[in-house]
Amino acid sequence: MVQKVLIATAVASVLALSACQRTSYYQNQPAPQPQPLTPAPAGQVQSGNLPPPGGQQGTYNSGTYQPGQAPANTANAGNTGQFPAAPGAPTGGGGMGNVAAPAGAMPLSNSALVGSWKVNEGGVQCDMFLTLTNLGDGLRGGTRGCTGGLSQMKSWGINGDQVVLNDANGYAIARLYKTADNRIEGQGSAGQQVVLSR
């Protein structure tokens, strides 16, 4: 019996000592350094003088620069010599010209338009929601149940006495005017009549 106790004590001591032993993975060798990357090919760099600002005559690339007519599609249409709008950026019209204001059009304010509206778009009834949350250059809005052009409406804004409804790209899809306290009406981009009421 004493022999069994001694063997058990010896095994327990060996196990206890092995549990206290420190395990280390550090060796005296430094970590391997990563291989350098192969340089990417670079294109040719060209240099030259830029044309003078403001549309003045000058030289450009060893030639003569003659200012021409300012592009019709500029971000600042009244400033000749300014940069054109970025490709794909809305230019305000969105392919839809201004709609003539009806007689008796009333002034507008953002806060007076916020909320839910019943919409009649070319005879189809749906709902519209206008908020004061900023979205791009406009305010967030949306529709529910609309099947025509207004189904694409994502934002809105006021331009003078005109409410402009925009799609996700910022293009005007409807231009409306306030004709009564709870009535706004105008025309959609496809020529359909649009009436908002509540």
DSSP 94-116: TT-PPPPPPTTPBP--HHHH-EE
pLDDT over threshold 80, residue 192: yes
- Sign of the alpha-carbon torsion through 94, 98, 102, 108: positive
In a 3-state reduction of DSSP, which class is residue 150?
helix
Band the pLDDT of 7: cuts 50, 70, 90: confident
Residue 128's closest CA among 93, 163, 170, 169?
A: 163
**Percentage of the chain with pLDDT > 90?**
27
Of residues 129 and 7, more confidently modeled: 129
Phi, psi dihedrals of residue 78, rounded to the nearest 5°: -80, -10
Strand partners, 55: none
pLDDT over threshold 80, residue 80: no
Of residues 35 and 50, more confidently modeled: 35
pLDDT over threshold 70, residue 75: no
pLDDT digits (tens, 9 = 90+) for 12-38: 777 666 655 555 555 666 777 888 878
pTM of the complete model: 0.51
**100-126 as b/e: b if 16+ CB within 10 A:** ebeeebeebeeeebeeebebebeeeeb
Of residues 165 and 50, more confidently modeled: 165
pLDDT over threshold 70, residue 49: yes
- Can you give the length of the chain in residues? 198
